[in-house]
Amino acid sequence: MAEADSSQKLNVAVVGGGLVGALQACYMAQRGHNVELYELRDDIRTMEYVPGRSINLAMSIRGRSALRKVGLEDEVVKNHGLPMEARMIHRPDGTTYSMPYGKKGQCIYSVGRRFVNEVLLNAAEKYPNVNFKFNHKLVNSDLKKGTMSFQNAKTGETVDATADLIVGGDGAYSALRKQYMKQPRFNYAQEYIPHAYLELCIPPNDKGGFAMDERHLHIWPRGSFMMIALPNQDFSWTVTLFMPFDVFEQLTTPEQLLEFFNIHYADAVTLIGKDRLIKDFFLNKPLPLISVKCTPFHAGKSVIMGDAAHAVVPFYGQGMNAGMEDVLIFDEFMDQYGDMNLDKVLPAFSDYRCVDAHAVVDLAMYNYIEMRDLVNHWTFALRKKFDDAMYWLRPNGWVPLYTSVTFSRMRYHLCIENKKWQDRVVRKLVWSSGVIVAATLTAVAFNYRKFNFALKF
């Protein structure tokens, strides 16, 4: 990563102090630029409870690569992350079976969202050229001029600022992206899926350890809904229940809730505990899930990244990974064109990344169907065994979809194209096998009839 010449430093305004915003602050500061980070909320490091989505993060190679470039991979992954080598599928009858994610040694890591955010904020704070401004709400911006107006949430005063580059890393409901809506030729689409999520918790067992095998991401697939659980450092499990809103709305009493869980998640009732299940379920409200597609990712002197540019539903574990990879790719374009050449960097990043951002949104939607339904089908297990066998035989020629998405930095849209090619090959093999089997059975039947006819004479 090249550091900018001291006479050519950018004044960078980062809107959003979440994962992407804090990481971007680190990257820009490491390049020698002056960074002002504006965050709507208070400093989460001083907060007892942080509102908003807190689904555990499944960190894989894309996020790790981004952290590695600012020297934070070991602190997050090796010192905090819990390796998950496979999915553990829980059947309705309580039996389980394991489905490895990839080859031996390949795993994803369960990490806490808040922990990662605090690590990034602490790292950014160590740079003398980074300044935090919490409780600042973006209310207006002239993207061509690079001017912004913020409202201080505590004092109510208006704060004006100017920057050479404005980076929007302020999430799915991005205030900076709202400014893009005023721009001509900006395309935007959002979709709320019919499903909501609600978080529960499996506490440590009586011995203070994990109540389930901690080297797995646990899934209870039930067709139109599902539940997952990821391990935490304190030996508890963050459990997330995904269901259509109308199913949540039918569970209005403790009796209805327990009856529902005893039918669909009987083994989880014991793990969570009846009293805790009832308390946590009715204490929280089901929250919506949104996906966002837009293009382009740049306007004037600004660029948007992460959920601000491509919010995804959390079923492929790629939301954080894709957002962090945005920062890494933007940095690579700055290496290519030079820090001060934003007229080339911004459109190059936007053109390159948009197609992959749209692809990861689609992948996340697909993986929800896979996790809640397809994993129950024998055809899915058979196809996975076939893909694993082919990957073992030809590791560079046949890379399964999940492997390409999670354990490589192959562009997301190319992961999908690769899967489509594999599907065509498999269909041809199945068709060819079917023809061969049919021809063999026909020949056997014909010879059998000839044999019986000969016996008569």
pLDDT band at 374 (very low <50, low <70, confident <90, very high): low
pLDDT at 223: 85
For the chain, how are helix, strand and coil distributed in percent, rounded to 5?
45, 25, 30
pLDDT at 29 over 50: yes
The C-alpha angle 174, 179, 182, rounded to 5 degrees, equals: 135
Q: Which DSSP state fits 74? A: I
Q: Give pLDDT tens digits for 206-241.
A: 999 999 999 999 999 998 899 999 999 999 999 999
Q: Judging by beta carbons within 10 Å of its beta carbon (0-12, 13-18, 19+), is residue 159 exposed, middle or buried?
A: middle
Q: Give pLDDT tens digits for 33-46.
A: 999 999 999 999 99
pLDDT at 434: 63
% of the chain exceeding 70 in pLDDT: 90
Cβ partners under 8 Å of residue 450, min gap 6: none
Which among 228, 240, 236, 230 is positioned nearest to 210, based on CA atoms? 236
pLDDT band at 371 (very low <50, low <70, confident <90, very high): low
| Average pLDDT over every residue of 104-121 | 93
Q: Which DSSP state fits 236? A: -
CA quadruple 422, 423, 428, 431: dihedral sign: positive
pLDDT at 137 over 60: yes
Query: What pTM does this model have?
Result: 0.89
pLDDT at 452 over 60: no
pLDDT band at 52 (very low <50, low <70, confident <90, very high): low
DSSP string, 277-339: HHHHHHHS--EEEEEEEEE-SEETTEEE-THHHH---TTSS-HHHHHHHHHHHHHHHHHHH-T
pLDDT band at 71 (very low <50, low <70, confident <90, very high): very high
pLDDT at 226: 92
Which H or E element spans position 199? strand 187-202
CB 312 within 8 A of CB 318: yes
pLDDT at 456: 42
C-alpha of 115 from chain center = 16
Q: Give pLDDT tens digits for 324-369.
A: 999 999 999 999 999 999 999 999 999 999 999 999 999 998 877 7
Which among 259, 265, 225, 263 is positioned nearest to 242, based on CA atoms? 225
C-alpha of 371 from chain center = 14
| Average pLDDT over every residue of 434-449 | 47
pLDDT at 455 over 60: no
| Average pLDDT over every residue of 250-270 | 97
Considering only 150-154, 275-279, 395-399, which range has the smallest mean pLDDT? Answer: 395-399
pLDDT band at 157 (very low <50, low <70, confident <90, very high): very high
pLDDT at 450: 45
Sort residue 140 into left (φ over 0), alpha (ψ -120 to 50) or beta.
beta
pLDDT band at 158 (very low <50, low <70, confident <90, very high): very high
CA–CA gap between residue 160 and residue 432 (Å, rounded): 68
pLDDT band at 102 (very low <50, low <70, confident <90, very high): confident
pLDDT at 54: 58
